[in-house]
Structure 1
Amino acid sequence: MTITASRLTKRFGDKAAVDGVDFEVGESEFFVLVGPSGCGKTTTLRMIAGLESIDDGELRMNSVVVNETRPRDRDIAMVFQDYAIFPHLSVHENIAYGLRSRRLASSVIRQRVPDAAATFRIEHLLRRKPRQLSGGERQRVALARALVRDAQAYLYDEPLSNLDAQLRHQAREDILALHQRQRKPTVYVTHDQSEAMSMADRMAVMRSGRIEQVGTPRELYENPVSTFVAYFIGTPSINLFQATLRAEVEDVWLEAPAFSLRLPPSRARALAGHVGGPITAGIRPEDLHPPRQAPFEVGEHNTMTARVDLVEPTTAGSTVYATMPGPAGDLDVAASFGARLPDRFVGQEVPLAVDLEKVHLFDAVTERSVLVDARAA
């Protein structure tokens, strides 16, 4: 099965919760809708499931328009954020419920239910009632109940939000392992960009009912089309600075109150129409390096100076939070280092070498990437 949304729209009164979104989910694709609360991702998922009516546009499954098709006739399994399990049924009965309603043979149910329970490590809970379970255990029951079915497509509405960090990581691996076995189209909703980046084949970033960008996690990370996508994707978030572009002979300089950087020719050629005007510069924390460890030549043209405020150890090294002085106030900057920076650097000014090949530049008014748009043109 494939799932195709064309100009999909849902209104509540005068407000468009989903405003003309377009995307396609391939036959075996794990597709993630990600965005902040209220952006329309869950409403989009519920329209795919048939739980919300479609006000405009088309939803197709295998090229067949299903706008008016009842939920039960779409052959879709869905996991809800709020569990939606039956309190009066045991865990075994909850998992088996969908199979019984489809009149599967008892022998099939006896085989599938324990297998699904074992997948999420709740086989020892099969006789218990939901009131005897923790929130995380209830969520795993909901996951097992949805995935025990051999549905044509699977939908997840923030299924891991009620699990602790360790269980969330394990459940994420379980869902992906099952997806690899089933190879069915899957639409997964989350507000956690780290979760989206680690799970998606492709993902759509939503904002205010619309899709900002669709692509693979790498495409969205390396080539964000807007400041919103650039800031939303990535941890720590990208550093954004208001700057101007200045031409000097054949060079183009990116200038802000706290730094001046000479852009490489590969960047400068795409910026001819923006020289002399304001621009928003984006520098990801991992593209800032201690000069001695930088994997490129370092000089005054690609160095800035910042005062270290905090050093946060990480599994990969350390994240350094610092400030750069400016006439309108200090500018915050975060840098991710592959080595541990000693605490004695807190309060000191340190140089930061910038990987100029990876600087992102956005129109200060439209907030759209001038580099991605230039490549598309």
Structure 2
Amino acid sequence: MVAIAATNLVKRYQDKLAVNDVSLDIGEDELLVLVGPSGCGKTTTLRMLVGLEPITSGTLRFGEKVVNEIRPKDRNVAMVFQDYAIFPHFTVYENIAYGMRARHENRALISERVPAAARMFRIDHLLKRKPRQLSGGERQRVALARALVRDASLYLYDEPLANLDAQLRHQAREDILLLHREKGRPSVYVTHDQSEAMALGDRIAVMRDGKIQQIGTGTELYDQPYSRFVAFFIGTPSINLFDAELRNNNGEIDIVTQAFTVRAADEMKEKIRGHIGRPVTLGLRPEDLHPPRNAPFPVTAENTIHGIVNVIEPTSTGCTVYLTTLGAEGQDFIATFKARLPASYIGKEVPLAVNRRKIQLFDAETERSLLYGPGIQF
């Protein structure tokens, strides 16, 4: 059941269109992540949800109630900010209790909920300390505990992990999921980190230039991107992109780049036949490039490319290999292997088998996928 519904939201600052016709639904216990580069409109969208930014046009509903003109304090929204927004002159206890006290809630309820929230986020031993005595991770947990003690209709997170180091970010993700499961209420999380979005979101909305490019699960965005931008933004390492052209070859369709040719899989031929002779962008995920002897599919000349190995980076699961295509105008690209590649391969030409069923193709002009998604204009 839909708990929050935004329909055709627009936010304009004089001549600047910050949010352009954004529509999304959030389920009763769903954690929706807004992800995109800086300046794409995700934080502005969040601020319209809470009421900190007036809506230029469009409709925002909490349940059946239109809340466009309702003040932030009357929307019953809990928000966790990037800079934590905790009071430096208050103790941890006072910071967690602040919202409840401001709403004049029962003292006994405050005394019960504040220590319980502090225990959940492992800061119950810090209740008498001031923020200056806390680490960044501890301050973040104070902000999360303050949100936990509220019975809000909507929980919002504005890049709350941006100021934490890598190790603390992983722990804080668990804390946020713990808070979300504890409350079971609709939540919206804003980040520019796609790996964070993939780890947290029930669904993810990818934004660019004030518009939503695609909404779906992490798997849907990764396997079936509607646009070149979504394909490139979702995934680590990023997808390899090559300028190409589709050519007819006795009923088969070849994808021809400056450095190599790959034959299109049979199941995609009908979708791309209309683009024969036209420029396209070929997308190859790094994990869909395999050493031929280890490939989990038949390897022929039709799905083999070559590259020169530049760098081999060991990982916990194998290695990441940085290569350059053959030819005078070589293009850098990346492959990830589940096995370690010996350093002796650096500087050498190696063959790579392409999983043709995982190929992505995009219109060179519109950047729309030729394989997936509706015919929407980005």
The alignment's TM-score, normalised by the length of structure 2, stands at 0.96
Match of 1:333 in 2: 333
Q: Distance in 2 between matches of 1:117 and 1:313?
A: 40
Q: Measured at CA, do residues 287 and 79 of structure 1 come closer, stay the same or move farther in structure 2, by a change above 3 Å?
A: same
Q: Distance in 2 between matches of 1:258 and 1:324?
A: 6
Match of 1:219 in 2: 220
Match of 1:361 in 2: 361
- Partner SS state of residue 82, structure 1: coil
* AA of the residue aligned to 1:345: Y
Larger deviation, residues 162-171 vs 103-112? 103-112
Q: Distance in 2 between matches of 1:375 and 1:314?
A: 39
TM-superposed CA distance for 1:59, in Å, is 0.6
- Partner SS state of residue 371, structure 1: coil
8 Å Cα contact 2:148-2:183 kept in structure 1 = no
* AA of the residue aligned to 1:113: V
TM-superposed CA distance for 1:63, in Å, is 2.1
* AA of the residue aligned to 2:227: S
Q: Distance in 2 between matches of 1:7 and 1:72?
A: 24
Q: Deviations over 1:312-369 (max 9, x none)?
A: 1112211111000234x21111011111111111111111000000100000000000
TM-superposed CA distance for 1:112, in Å, is 1.3
8 Å Cα contact 1:120-1:171 kept in structure 2 = no
Match of 1:175 in 2: 176
Match of 1:53 in 2: 54
Is 2:5 the partner of 1:4?
yes
Q: Distance in 1 between matches of 2:374 and 2:363?
A: 12
Q: Deviations over 1:14-55 (max 9, x none)?
A: 101111101110111110000001111011001000111001
- Partner SS state of residue 37, structure 2: coil
Match of 2:324 in 1: 323
Q: Measured at CA, do residues 92 and 373 of structure 1 come closer, stay the same or move farther in structure 2, by a change above 3 Å?
A: closer
- Partner SS state of residue 313, structure 1: strand
TM-superposed CA distance for 1:373, in Å, is 4.2
Q: Distance in 2 between matches of 1:121 and 1:311?
A: 40
**5+ unaligned residues in a row in structure 2: which ranges?**
none
Q: Distance in 2 between matches of 1:258 and 1:119?
A: 56
Q: Deviations over 1:115-135 (max 9, x none)?
A: 211222222221111122233
Match of 1:371 in 2: 371
Larger deviation, residues 189-198 vs 335-344? 335-344
TM-superposed CA distance for 1:181, in Å, is 2.5
8 Å Cα contact 1:244-1:276 kept in structure 2 = yes
- Partner SS state of residue 2, structure 1: strand
Aligned ranges 1:55-204 → 2 under 5 Å: 55-204=56-205
- Partner SS state of residue 237, structure 2: coil
Q: Deviations over 1:38-95 (max 9, x none)?
A: 1110110010001110011111110211000011111110001111111111111000
- Partner SS state of residue 219, structure 2: helix
TM-superposed CA distance for 1:374, in Å, is 7.6
TM-superposed CA distance for 1:375, in Å, is 9.8
TM-superposed CA distance for 1:178, in Å, is 2.4
Q: Deviations over 1:145-197 (max 9, x none)?
A: 11221211100000111112222111111211221222100000000000001
Q: Measured at CA, do residues 118 and 166 of structure 1 come closer, stay the same or move farther in structure 2, by a change above 3 Å?
A: farther
Runs of 4 or more above 6 Å deviation: none
* AA of the residue aligned to 2:235: G
8 Å Cα contact 2:137-2:172 kept in structure 1 = no
TM-superposed CA distance for 1:136, in Å, is 2.6
Q: Distance in 1 between matches of 2:184 and 2:134?
A: 31
Match of 2:352 in 1: 352
* AA of the residue aligned to 2:263: R
Q: Distance in 2 between matches of 1:372 and 1:266?
A: 13
8 Å Cα contact 1:240-1:282 kept in structure 2 = yes
Match of 2:249 in 1: 248
Q: Distance in 1 between matches of 2:120 and 2:190?
A: 21
* AA of the residue aligned to 1:103: H
* AA of the residue aligned to 1:196: A
Q: Distance in 2 between matches of 1:190 and 1:56?
A: 24
**5+ unaligned residues in a row in structure 1: which ranges?**
none
Aligned residues: 375
8 Å Cα contact 1:270-1:374 kept in structure 2 = no
Q: Report % sequence identity.
A: 61
- Partner SS state of residue 48, structure 1: helix
Q: Deviations over 1:177-234 (max 9, x none)?
A: 2212221000000000000011111110000111111111111100111111000000
